[in-house]
Amino acid sequence: MVAHTVRRAGPSLRLTRRGRVVVLVLLALMASGASAVLFTTASRASGDPSTPLPTITVQPGDTLWDIAASLPSRRDGWARVDEIRRLNHLGSGDLQPGQVLVLPHT
């Protein structure tokens, strides 16, 4: 007769107390890093979230350049035009009278 050894099924890896602390600290660092990235990305994209972005209604003959030039800003005109296009998801510079555009914070 052959004797067989019976092994209990159990976890193959057990963490010591120090290991659990290290894992928790790493998880906390990853979570805080991810929240910092999300927070800075959101704040850059929307400016001050408590203040709504200003809007303007396009009048006949208005161009993106005219609208961007009317904004008080230290940025150059092309950067302002690009920001208005990005905020309004515009593929081109074509505007329609009556169209409402979101303007960047100054």
Q: What is the pLDDT of residues 17-37, one digit of tens each?
A: 998 899 999 988 888 888 877
Residue 39 makes CB contacts below 8 A (sequence gap 6+) with: none
Give domain status of residue 6, yes or no: no
Residue 8 lies in a domain: no
| Residue 6 pLDDT level (bands cut at 50, 70, 90) | low
State whether 36 and 62 are in the same domain: no
- β-bridge partners, 102: 55
Q: Which of 79, 54, 80, 76 is nearest to 67 (CA)?
A: 80
| Domain match, 42 and 69 both | no
pLDDT above 60: residue 101: yes
Domain that holds residue 90: 55-102
pLDDT at 102: 92
The owner of tokens 């914070």 is 105
Q: Are residues 66 and 80 in the same domain?
A: yes
Could you give the CA distance from residue 102 to residue 87 in angstroms, rounded to a whole number? 6
If asked whether residues 59 and 95 sit together in one domain, one would say yes
Q: Are residues 34 and 62 in the same domain?
A: no
Whether the full predicted model's pTM is greater than 0.85, yes or no, is no
The answer to whether 96 and 57 have CB atoms below 8 angstroms apart is no
Instruction: Read off the pLDDT of residues 90-100 as tens digits, 9 standing for 90 and up.
Output: 988 889 999 99
User: What is residue 8's predicted lDDT score, i.e. its pLDDT?
Assistant: 67
Give the chain's domain count.
2
Q: For residue 22, is it within any domain?
A: yes
Residues 95 and 72 in one domain: yes
